[in-house]
Every structure is written in structure tokens, then in C-alpha cells.
């Protein structure tokens, strides 16, 4: 399991906490930044992590911002990315089992470090259940396909 992680300044402290968790557990990860409280733009970091997951270089991604919303919206623009904003363990598990979420997003201004660690733990351990859920996830890919122009498709190859 290789994890790509990133945040903007609003999620930086929470990212540092999750990085410490990944280190503790011996999970292979790459931290794409940001590395300070200096204001940055969350789409830049969401894009880097999303592309790292899309390319297959990393199996999963974790993104933090103030709310978890901005990074989720941005990451979900990258074809093949299914980013889920989860602030409880039930949703975190379901996002893996039902939606095959490949990026977890979290909001530093919404939840505490303890809950965030539990959510990450559950999310990293849960597996996609396939079956009827696979058909639905394939339909999501179909939506991407429908709105992808021929030119864009060439660029994505
Ligand atoms: C930054 O102030 C904040 O807007 C950002 O971290 C995030 O919450 C956006 O969705």
C-alpha cells in the first residue's frame, strides 16, 4: 500500500498528524506538501495527489484542507479519481466498500486529530466489495467518458 498525501495551508496541521500516523504504522507514503502555514491554493495540491493516484504510482491518496470540500471537488475533476469526504468512520468504510474511493479527504477545521486518525485507519483497511457496487462504479466511469472530448481523450492516453 503506497499512499500519496497532500494539503493546503488550511489542512496542513491535520496532514502532519496523518503523516505521523503513517510513519507509526510503517505505511509507505509520499508527502506532496504543503509544508507550512503560508497560504497556497488547494487545487494545486489536490491535482498532484490525484495524478499520483491516477498514474498508479500510489494506491491511495489522502487530502486535507480546511473543510475537505475544496480538495474533494478538485481531485474529482481528474478522470479515474473517486475522492470521498468522510468525517465519520461509517462513511469512510462505505466509501471503500461501496464506492471504491481512491482518495480520502478531510477537513482540519471540522474534526479533531483523534477522529481523523481513526477514519484514516478504517479507510486504509477497508476493501471494495465489488458485485453490485462494481456496476455502479463503472457507471461513474461512463459519465467521465461521456463528457471527455476526443482531444481530451488523446491527451489522457
Ligand atoms: C482555505 O482558507 C480554505 O478555503 C481551504 O482550506 C478549504 O477549506 C477549501 O475548501
pLDDT score for 153: 66
Q: Can you list the residues of the chain whose pLDDT is less than 70?
A: 150-153, 156-157
Ligand 1 atom with least separation from CA of 109: 8
pLDDT score for 148: 81
All structural domains of the chain, each given as residue ranges with its CATH number in brackets, are 2-129 (3.40.1400.10)
Question: Ligand 1 within 6 A of 6 CB?
Answer: no
Positions marked catalytic = 65, 98
Q: 3-state SS string over 66-116?
A: CCCHHHHHHHCCCCCCCEEECCCHHHHHHHHHCCCCCEEEEECCCCCHHHH
Question: Ligand 1 within 6 A of 68 CB?
Answer: no
pLDDT score for 150: 66
139 CA distance to ligand 1 centroid (A)? 30
Let me know: does 52 contact 4? Beta carbons within 8 Å.
Answer: yes
| Residue 136 phi, psi dihedral angles, 5° rounding | -70, -40
CA–CA distances in Å: residue 115 to residues 24, 87, 111, 134, 135: 16, 8, 7, 29, 32
Amino acid at each position: 500500500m503506497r499512499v500519496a498525501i497532500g494539503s493546503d495551508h488550511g489542512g496542513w496541521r491535520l496532514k502532519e498528524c496523518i503523516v505521523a500516523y503513517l510513519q507509526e504504522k510503517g505505511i509507505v507514503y509520499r508527502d506532496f506538501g504543503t509544508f507550512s502555514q503560508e497560504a497556497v491554493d488547494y487545487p494545486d495540491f489536490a491535482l498532484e495527489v490525484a495524478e499520483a493516484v491516477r498514474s498508479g504510482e500510489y494506491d491511495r491518496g489522502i487530502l486535507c484542507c480546511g473543510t475537505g470540500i475544496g480538495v474533494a471537488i478538485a481531485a474529482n475533476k481528474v478522470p479515474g479519481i473517486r475522492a470521498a469526504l468522510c468525517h465519520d468512520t461509517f462513511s469512510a468504510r462505505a466509501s471503500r466498500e461501496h464506492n471504491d474511493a481512491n482518495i480520502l479527504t478531510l477537513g482540519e477545521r471540522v474534526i479533531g486529530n483523534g477522529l481523523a486518525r481513526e477514519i484514516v485507519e478504517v479507510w486504509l483497511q477497508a476493501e471494495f466489495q465489488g458485485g453490485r457496487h462494481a456496476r455502479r462504479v463503472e457507471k461513474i466511469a461512463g459519465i467521465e467518458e461521456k463528457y471527455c472530448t476526443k482531444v481530451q481523450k488523446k491527451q489522457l492516453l
